[in-house]
Amino acid sequence: MISRQLQITIALLLIALLAGGVYMYELRRRDERNLLQSADARPVTAPVAGPKVPVTLVVAFDDDGVLMRRQAEVALPDDPSGRAREVLRALLAEYLQHPAPHKVGEGADVDAVYLVEGGLCVVDMNAKFATGHPSGVLLEQFTVATMIETLAVNIPGVRRVKFLVEGKERETLAGHADLTTMYDVDAVHQIVTGLEKH
Amino acid sequence: MRSTDVRRLAALAVLAVLVAAVLPWVTRSAEEKRLYVFTPAGISSISITDQDRHEYIALQDLLPNLGQVGIRRERDVVRLRVGAVEGEFRDGRNRFRIGKMQVESALKVRIDESGRVLVPLDLLPEIIKQYTGAEPELRLASHKLYLRGVAQYVSIELRRTDPSTLVLTFPVAVSPNITNEGGRVRLSFTHEPVLMSADRIDYQDKLIQSIAFSEPNGASEITVQGAAPLLTGFSEGGRVITLSAAPAPPKIAQAPAQPPPSTSPIAAPVTPGRLPATASPGLPETPLPVHGVVPFFVMIDPGHGGDDSGARFSEKFQEKDVTLAIARRLRAELQDRGITAVLLRDSDTTLPLEQRAEGANLRRAGMFISLHAGGPGVGVRVYTALVPPADPKVREQAGPFIPWQSVHAAFLDKSRVLGEQMVSELAGRKVDAQLMPASIAPLSRVASPAVALEVAPPRDNPSLDGLNAPAYQQAVAQAAAAAVVGALAHMLEEHK
């Protein structure tokens, strides 16, 4: 017969073993998640296909609080939606450098761009664009305004821009910039002009 | 080993598995618990902490919903005053005093290191009653607290016509999200404090079978089960919801006589100076004059709060704390100038953006100032709303309504006047300032002149210390208060 003390000891050991197992499992899952996140945070790259053409990027400089235009060579596909996506990716690549003139969420990327009749451009961003974005009115305004102005400069006919995150409407970018609204390109251009340094 | 021992060991092992499986879930759910507080100004939520396997909340988080709060701490005693009534709380005691009344508690009151008074959740009705004289309604199971009689009980009447109709009458207009799945209609109230006196009523009826009430995740939900598809109709300005039999679908060969009415998401009337009619749950159905008989007051919106910390400057220094500190200073500065000011939140509570606009609009604020803090750069950035121009096509279809997001368009000129006054007053106090438009929530939904301030550190001390310096925050508050006075004078002059 097993003594009562031994039974309790075995039970406690079993509980400790199982609790330890659950804890280890959680740790492993966390590690896997972190690993995936760091892998996804690699800077975006331009597509290999398509000729490289000069594009104008409107880039934010946080330290000086200004916007400036920069020329870049980007390989662009033929379809307008694809071109819009790659132009935005080129802008994000500027922001994903270390150090960067302006920061966005690590691993931020453009999932898709839809050019709709009537000048509407729907930009669908990935989750990291929003979840990792630094919080602040001006910081978020810089991101939104430079993306819209860069689109407007390089893709003729874009009149309004709507941002989605993972295919869904999101209330704000990181607590400030309103993403429920449909941005008017002309109105944003006025803001950009006011912040631009030539 | 005997078979009874094996059975015992097996039972213990099963128990251990269950404990190990449930433990992480229990821990996680404890972290997520919040108390939803419904007041006439809107909904906020307060963190619930577990102490000795019982649910507690910090009184400092709750009391601002009752009135102006004063706090004094002397060693192990914390005195919390609401208006003229003072409560005295000691750590580890089963009794405490509010006003002249001693309150007994089966559980001990706790005072944590930062002086927060933690009280058991089930004591809240007694505490609030002693402070205010009015007993609130506490729903322990769903973690909901209704203050100042805001709970809206629905009255239910089954009219046994052929076929029957179910009539739900609410004390005020409601605007639920409606889901229709065959014969089941679900009315979900995310903002309104709707309650039903019974959890479920079953009917012996050919069409309406039952009505049930539940409270998932802080919302209220009424589910009506019908034997056939049901049609939901609103009347009496949104106070009455009628559920009746849906008409039979037309035969395929027959074209409908009339096209179906367009369902537009727009919600606010075009007329300048009017509030949205049914834009959001809780708003009155009929348009309200913005500057009617309501005395002028400034609504101050300290950005973020509760779960939403805003920008994190350091481990302990967050945007939500800076905005609240400046907001309190601004309120005092305005009151010194004879102007009433109300804070949308006066504690660390979560307040959704839509609720902030609704809170200002419902109370018919004369001006709205939203406060934010953080870099880059130095000084104060003053923002007016970047309101999207209404699409002419949408406008044509909408008739007398405009999109909810363009509510502020009619107030944009006055907002610019307020913004210019802000920049001028800040510059006069040697604080760097610039004015620009920004699409920042919730400015575009506010039906009054409105600006947002983003306070960055001062030029002479561009650090977190500089941002947190009382003298700097006071200078910003003084400039903002002076700007309100200036803008008000300008607007009155124009009005003449």
Number of CB pairs, chain A paired with chain B, less than 8 A apart: 117
The residue type found at B441 is A
- Distance from the A76 Cα atom to the nearest Cα atom in chain B, whole angstroms: 31
Q: CA–CA distance from B392 to each of B1, B211, B400 (Å)?
A: 86, 43, 13
pTM for the predicted model, two decimal places: 0.57
Which residues in A lie closer than 8 A to residue B310 (C-beta atoms)?
135, 175
Q: Please check whether residues A15 and A60 belong to one and the same domain.
A: no
The pLDDT of residue B453 is 97
Provide the phi-psi class of B278: left if phi over 0, else alpha when psi is between -120 and 50, else beta.
Answer: alpha
The answer to the question of residue A47 being in a domain is no
Q: Is-contact A49 A77, C-beta < 8 A? A: yes
Instruction: Give B-chain residues touching A170 at CB under 8 angstroms.
Output: none
The answer to whether the CB atoms of B386 and A22 lie below 8 A apart is no
Measured from the Cβ of residue A68, the count of other Cβ atoms closer than 10 Å reads: 16
* Same domain, residue pair A12 and A70: no
Report the C-alpha gap between B330 and A22 in whole angstroms.
51
Give the C-alpha separation, B315 to B321, whole Å.
12
Q: Nearest by CB to A62, which of B15, B311, B376?
A: B376
If asked whether residues A10 and A105 sit together in one domain, one would say no
Query: Token pair 């601002």 is at which residue?
Result: B64
Number of domains in chain A: 2
CA distances from B443 to B329, B348, B405 (A): 21, 21, 9
Which residues from B are below 8 Å from A19, CB to CB? 19-20, 23
**A85 plus A168 within the same structural domain:** yes
Q: What is residue A128's predicted lDDT score, i.e. its pLDDT?
A: 94
Q: Do A171 and B21 touch (CB under 8 A)?
A: no
A69 three-state secondary structure: strand
Residue A10 covered by a domain: yes
Q: Please list every residue in chain A whose beta carbon sits closer than 8 Å to the beta carbon of residue B351.
A: none
Helix axis angle, A80-95 to A137-154, nearest 10°: 140
Range of the domain at A15: 1-40
pLDDT average, residue stretch A68-91: 93
pLDDT at A131: 93
Amino acid letter at B266?
I
Chain A residues touching B304 at Cβ < 8 A: 175
* B388/A184 CB distance under 8 A: yes
Q: In three state form, how does the secondary structure of chain B look?
A: CCHHHHHHHHHHHHHHHHHHHHHHHHHHHHHHCEEEEEECCEEEEEECEEECCEEEEEHHHHHHHCCCEEEEEECCEEEEEECCEEEEEECCCCEEEECCEEEECCCCCEECCCCCEEEEHHHHHHHHHHHHCCCCEEECCCCEEECCCCCEECEEEEECCCCCEEEEECCCCCCCEEEEECCEEEEEECCCCEECCCCEEECCCCCEEEEEEECHHHCEEEEEEECCCEEEEEEHHHCEEEEEECCCCCCCCCCCCCCCCCCCCCCEECCCCECCCCCCCCCCCCCCECCCCCCCEEEEEECCECCECCCECCCCCEHHHHHHHHHHHHHHHHHHCCCEEEECCCCCCECCHHHHHHHHHHCCCCEEEEEEECCCCCCEEEEEECCCCCCHHHHHHHCCEECHHHHHHHHHHHHHHHHHHHHHHHHHCCCCEEEEEECECCHHHCCCCEEEEEECCCCCCCCHHHHHCHHHHHHHHHHHHHHHHHHHHHHHHHHC
Per the CB < 8 Å rule, is B16 touching A138?
no
Give the domains, in start order, of chain B with CATH numbers: 32-146 (3.30.457.10), 152-245 (2.60.40.3470), 270-495 (3.40.630.40)
CB B415 within 8 A of CB B451: yes
Q: B23 contacts in A (CB within 8 Å)? A: 19, 22
Output phi, psi for B465, to 5 deg: -60, -40
Which residues lie below 8 Å from residue B217, measured CB to CB, with a gap of 6+?
A: none
Do B16 and A14 lie within an 8 Å CB cutoff? yes
Residue B155: alpha-carbon gap to chain centroid: 25
Q: Are A27 and A91 part of one and the same domain? A: no
Are A191 and B436 a contacting pair at CB < 8 A?
yes
Same domain, A110 and A12: no
Tens-digit pLDDT profile for residues A122-157: 999 999 999 999 999 999 999 999 999 999 999 999
Residues A152 and A89 in one domain: yes
What is the radius of gyration, based on Cα positions, of chain A? Answer: 23
User: Does A3 lie in the same domain as A67?
Assistant: no
- Has residue A11 been placed in a domain? yes
The arithmetic mean of pLDDT across residues A31-46, rounded, is: 52
Q: Contact A21/B12, CB-based, under 8 Å?
A: no
**A175 contacts on B by Cβ (under 8 Å):** 303-304, 308, 310-311
Co-location of A75 and A139 in the same domain: yes
Average pLDDT over residues A81-93: 95
Structure tokens belonging to residue B154: 């629905």
> Which residues lie across from B104 on neighbouring strands?
B95
pLDDT, residue B105, reads 85
The answer on A131 and A63 residing in a single domain is yes
Residue A45 lies in a domain: no
| Chain A residues within 8 Å of chain B (Cβ atoms) | 1-2, 7, 10-11, 14-15, 18-19, 21-22, 26, 62-63, 65, 134-139, 141, 144, 171-172, 175-178, 180-184, 187-188, 190-191, 194-195
Sign of the torsion angle spanned by Cα atoms B107, B109, B114, B116: positive
A190 neighbourhood in chain B, CB within 8 Å: 437
Q: Is residue A46 part of a domain?
A: no
With an 8 Å Cβ cutoff, are A138 and B376 in contact? yes
Residue A66 sits in the same domain as residue A142: yes
Are A82 and A165 found together in one domain? Answer: yes
Show the low-confidence residues of chain B (pLDDT under 50). 26-31, 250-292
In this structure, the strands spanning B433-438 and B380-385 are parallel
B309, B350, B386, B407, best to mutate vs chain A, most A CBs in 10 Å: B386
